[in-house]
Structure 1
């Protein structure tokens, strides 16, 4: 059962995407997830397992999801690491890459890194996984923001509140890392998002972004989701995003300069709701 600090009296600011039944299902998944995290974290702390859990390595900080084998490998590693899986299994691929990047690039071993999940969902895996790795013991150091959120909600010490990824209201240089999983394709103004991310990251901090991608994007005309037209990024749009990030002093961690670096053999992601097949791309940037 939720602890007292997890009591939720949220009034949604935006209508729940997908309708009330889907919203109820997500709410149930959220409560089950955080109940598991709270119990597992306490049990593992007593046994010392949080110290022994290795940093995930299956997904590099910057990569294109090339095949079904790649996301299945990520799922297998997350399972071995005792991390609760996202029910949409391919989404564990970019989440594992983002968590690995946070732990390997900005965590100094003290588990005090300040991380914001931009466009967060309370049932998505990044913040629960970081909590299981021991982050979040410092009050307010794990934060999720979303325009759909209303009143502030806490889950096992993680804060979720209303917030705009292009205008967070956070102080300059106040974060060590930002994750943003499968959000920017839903009508986010990319330039404003990159500028705001660079502003709130400390020098050396990282931004991990994933999005829907295809080397030859399918036609999405007439398809809408989450209040905006469906968008699947193509290679040229990714190159434009990289240039925009560079202009904001965000340097790519990894290399997408080779001729085949933005290609993929398969389209291992299927979005049943809109009838599209495509893949994901994960990009990690370091603030200069």
Structure 2
């Protein structure tokens, strides 16, 4: 597990994504054209997610072959799945309940499926890797999520997730996003998640480093940071 330390890491990550020609967020000019109604289509990604997108792309580049099947869950407006296409991955799928999924880019190259990612129609052991950028903290259900991720992953495959995080517990009672309860994971929440994952044959990769002193993220009246974690299917 890694933790976003400060805003500078976000800026540096975006510059690296641009340098590698993997950045998929729109330019400020395109944003202006969108507001004027001249430019349409889905607004992909978010500058604030630069760090975890780059961490995920780098991990996959080092551990997953370009022809291996990869699934992105909660893929609507997700930058990661389009960046993976740019990176040269050729066997990509995305899962999301949003009915506008058909408006996502690269329809001919990426297999988009309108489905609940905790109950998908994909076959057992269908994927070498599953990505999830700022998704699991919304309507979090550890058992349903881990059961499906374990079912979908091939042995030796990876579940890679980023999520809202702060070492101490932050109360988000009554705050909802996308009509779902919102969880800012605490150190204890992550520890329990890791322990629960082992019951489904998913083991955390690397060290557990949950400490953070800076709060580079502000949303919903709360200040926190991002966590990033990788599980391997045993």
Tell me the TM-score normalised to structure 1 length: 0.70
Q: Deviations over 1:98-132 (max 9, x none)?
A: 1112221122xxx21111101112x3211111111
- Counterpart-to-counterpart distance in 2, 1:167 and 1:153: 22
Count of residue pairs brought into register by the alignment: 213
Confirm or deny that 1:95 pairs with 2:44: no
Instruction: Give the Cα–Cα distance (whole angstroms) in 1 for the partners of residues 223 and 46 of structure 2.
Output: 14
1:77 to 16, 26, 34: 16
| Corresponding position: 1:282 with 2:228 | yes
Map 1:121-200 → 2, pairs under 5 A: 121=76, 123-136=77-90, 141-149=91-99, 155-156=105-106, 157-200=109-152
Q: Could you list the runs of 5+ residues in structure 1 that have no partner in the other structure?
A: 1-61
Unaligned residue ranges in structure 2 (runs of 5+): 26-44
Q: Taking structure 2 as the reference length, what is the TM-score of the superposition?
A: 0.85
CA distance in 2, matches of 1:254, 1:69: 24
1:104 maps to which residue?
A: 62
Pairing partner for 2:213 from 261, 265, 268: 265
Distance apart, 1:219 and its partner CA: 2.8
The CA RMSD measured in Å over matched residues stands at 1.8
1:198-238: CA deviation from partner (whole Å, max 9, x where unpaired) = 11111111100111011123332332211022221101110
Q: CA deviation at 1:154?
A: 6.5
Q: How does 1:251-262 map to 2 (within 5 A)?
A: 251-256=203-208, 261-262=209-210
Question: Paired residue for 1:17?
Answer: none
Query: Match for residue 201 of structure 2?
Result: 249
Rg larger in 1 or in 2?
A: 1
Shift of residue 176, structure 1, vs aligned partner? 0.8
Is 2:70 aligned against 1:115?
yes
**Displacement of 1:85:** 4.6
- Residue equivalent to 1:6: none
Question: Against the structure 1 CA distance between its residues 203 and 153, is the aligned structure 2 distance closer, same or farther, given a 3 Å change threshold?
Answer: farther
